[in-house]
Amino acid sequence: MLVNTVVDMPSTIPARVHAPRSPDRSPRPASHRGLLTIMCACVALVVGMVAAINLAVPMLAASELHPSASGLLWVVDTYVIFFACLVIPGGAAGDRFGRKGVLITGLILFAAGALVSAVTQNVALLLVSRATTGAGAAAVLPNTLAVLLHAVPAERKNATIAVWASMTGIGGVLGNVGGGAVLSGGSWRWLFAAAVPISLLLAALVGFLAPVSPRHDRRLEPLGTALFVGASVALLLGIIQGPETGWGSATVIIEFASAAVLFTAWTLVELRAEHPLLDPRLFRLPALRSACLGMTTVFFGMFALFYVNASFLQYGKGFSVLQTGLGIIPLTVPVILAARHVGRLTHRIGLGGTTALAFAFVGGGLLGLSTSDTNTSYFVYAAWLVVTGIGVTLALPALSGAIAGALPPAQAGVGAGLQATTREFGSALGVAVIGTILTARFTSALPADVRDAHTVAQALTTAPGRAHDITTAFVSGTSTGLRVIGIAVLVLGALVVLQSPLSRRGRA
């Protein structure tokens, strides 16, 4: 996951003021740096897992679990969708029950889910454990920032938030590089096993260093949360099952209908709740609605790329898993070199102009990557990664600032939660859509005698002598998927810019 630099960072501080129900014990000044390091490590862990799992897809496909194509998608998406849907409730639980305690609980849940993932012998249990890990991540992410904001002095809050936000980007890089290093040992199980001691060590350090912060009387909305999770899962089920069972099949139609019914029920429940976790009425604000769509679109494109990049470099280019982890680094070069200059560009050409340019780069970069095949030089591939990275570098500060600026200061906490939710939901949707397109195109391009296979590993097992034809079919599916995703990003980006106040605000 790339950088989430928030413009006007002080506005992300929740403005709730309730009487504390627990003592306010802040750490000594000397421990502030250590606390920041631990909180950033927690962020890097949960964000890095989103990226790292994509590197393990080829290993999982060839493993003794024998997952189907849709099963592989769910191994990736189950973590992301539970992360996305529970991150706002995770922050609310921290407010209600204590941020330190919920953060530690989240790390322990993360460790438990990772441990079960490492030893499971079937796909069903792997999906349950991935959901558990995602729920743990949702408890970790918002409460790391809440703990920091309570602990550091006022004059250091801006710098602390900036460092914390940067870790959501660095975590993605560490997930790719670190995941590649761990997986180079030869088993996908090692990725999950390595996460267990790390998360438990972090839980112990949080218990030792983190202060106890005040609790607040913020009610939880378990019914609304359950409806939102159910609706999201039903929607992704329909998208993922479409190629296997047919888009007109009763199963897919029921899943899409269920998603519509559950989203409607969620809306009604939240509208009637006295203290909704996410008030649907907020989306009446055009600037907020468009910025959320824009954030979803950017991560839709980015994680679609992450999903196919790992398999393309390993199957199509013959990269090792470590080389594959390192191979995505050019995408981050613009973020590292240019993120601090985006504000000046926005001041010069306006928020709408910056956003339009961002979507042009992201969509154009994905279309450029779609032209790659087994004969394409990696340097050409890396150049298109840089183009895509430029778009991401421009988009995230602009869209983050638009979300923060569309809400009054009293609802800034909701804005921060919306950013996390739209990022993760876009990521899950991108994986589901490109995986669906890839599977459909791959199976149709396979030789007739191996067309029953739905993954490269299955096809190679069935016909090991047809490796060239199978790889060619896979690269064809990758190209088609990236082309569709690139066009979708351009179209959705145009909607964001043209049908929102972003295009009419002039200079920032």
Q: Can you give the residue ranges of every domain in the chain?
A: 1-10+28-219, 278-508
The residue-averaged pLDDT of 34-43 equals 88
Q: How would DSSP label each residue in 214-226?
A: PP------HHHHH
Q: Is the Cβ–Cβ distance between 35 and 164 less than 8 Å? A: no
CA angle 17, 20, 21 (to 5 degrees): 145
Look at 14-18, 51-55, 174-178 and tell me which has the smallest mean pLDDT: 14-18
- Binned at pLDDT 50, 70 and 90, residue 16 comes out as very low
Measured torsion, CA atoms of residues 195, 200, 203, 208, in degrees rounded to the nearest 10: -140
Mean pLDDT score of the chain: 81
- The span from the CA of 328 to the CA of 381, in Å, is 10
Cβ contacts of 344 within 8 Å, gap of 6 or more:
none
Decide if pLDDT at 410 tops 80. no
Q: Cα–Cα distances in Å, from 326 out to 65, 301, 341, 393, 499?
A: 27, 20, 26, 19, 38
Cβ contacts of 289 within 8 Å, gap of 6 or more:
283, 500
Block residue for tokens 């899409």:
256
- The span from the CA of 2 to the CA of 328, in Å, is 11
5, two tokens: 């630099």
Q: Cα–Cα distances in Å, from 485 out to 84, 104, 328, 413, 434?
A: 21, 38, 18, 31, 7
> Residues 115-130: pLDDT tens digits?
999 999 999 999 999 9
* Domain 278-508 -> CATH class: mainly alpha
- The span from the CA of 112 to the CA of 180, in Å, is 22
Give the pLDDT confidence score for residue 15 in this predicted structure: 39
Decide if pLDDT at 30 tops 70. no
> Residues 60-109: pLDDT tens digits?
888 888 888 788 888 888 898 888 888 888 887 887 788 889 999 999 99
- The span from the CA of 315 to the CA of 368, in Å, is 19
* Residues in the chain, total: 508
Higher pLDDT, 144 or 418: 144
- The span from the CA of 203 to the CA of 338, in Å, is 34
CA angle 145, 148, 151 (to 5 degrees): 155
The residue-averaged pLDDT of 352-360 equals 90
Q: Is the Cβ–Cβ distance between 353 and 506 less than 8 Å? A: no
Q: Is the Cβ–Cβ distance between 187 and 56 less than 8 Å? A: no
Look at 132-136, 174-178, 345-349, 460-464 and tell me which has the smallest mean pLDDT: 460-464
Give the pLDDT confidence score for residue 137 in this predicted structure: 93
Would you give the distance in Å from CA 310 to the centre of its chain? 16
315: which DSSP letter?
A: I
Block residue for tokens 């969620």:
266
**Phi/psi of residue 212, each to 5°?**
-90, 125
365, two tokens: 């970069």
- The span from the CA of 56 to the CA of 243, in Å, is 23
> Residues 170-219: pLDDT tens digits?
777 788 888 888 988 878 999 999 999 999 999 999 988 888 776 666 66
Decide if pLDDT at 14 tops 60. no
The residue-averaged pLDDT of 25-47 equals 76
Q: Is the Cβ–Cβ distance between 399 and 295 less than 8 Å? A: yes
Q: Cα–Cα distances in Å, from 219 out to 55, 146, 241?
A: 39, 17, 36
The residue-averaged pLDDT of 488-493 equals 94
Decide if pLDDT at 10 tops 80. no
Give the pLDDT confidence score for residue 170 in this predicted structure: 72
331: which DSSP letter?
A: G
163, two tokens: 């460092």
Decide if pLDDT at 12 tops 70. no
Give the pLDDT confidence score for residue 469 in this predicted structure: 85
- Binned at pLDDT 50, 70 and 90, residue 435 comes out as confident
Amino acid at 134: G
- Binned at pLDDT 50, 70 and 90, residue 29 comes out as very low
Give the pLDDT confidence score for residue 257 in this predicted structure: 93
Give the pLDDT confidence score for residue 401 in this predicted structure: 74
Burial 193-209, CB ≥16 within 10 A → b, else e: bbbbebbbebbebbeeb
Decide if pLDDT at 24 tops 90. no
The residue-averaged pLDDT of 234-245 equals 76
The residue-averaged pLDDT of 354-372 equals 93
278-508: same fold as 1-10+28-219? yes
Give the pLDDT confidence score for residue 216 in this predicted structure: 65
Amino acid at 139: A
Give the pLDDT confidence score for residue 219 in this predicted structure: 66
Question: Is the CA virtual torsion 181, 184, 186, 187 positive or negative?
Answer: positive
Decide if pLDDT at 335 tops 90. no
Decide if pLDDT at 249 tops 90. no
Its pTM surpasses 0.85: no
Q: Is the Cβ–Cβ distance between 234 and 258 less than 8 Å? A: yes
Give the pLDDT confidence score for residue 341 in this predicted structure: 78
Give the pLDDT confidence score for residue 204 in this predicted structure: 94
283, two tokens: 């989306």
**Phi/psi of residue 185, each to 5°?**
-70, -15
Cβ contacts of 386 within 8 Å, gap of 6 or more:
330, 331, 333, 334, 365
Give the pLDDT confidence score for residue 126 in this predicted structure: 94
- The span from the CA of 474 to the CA of 486, in Å, is 18
Q: Which CATH code fits 1-10+28-219?
A: 1.20.1250.20
- The span from the CA of 171 to the CA of 102, in Å, is 21
The residue-averaged pLDDT of 396-408 equals 74
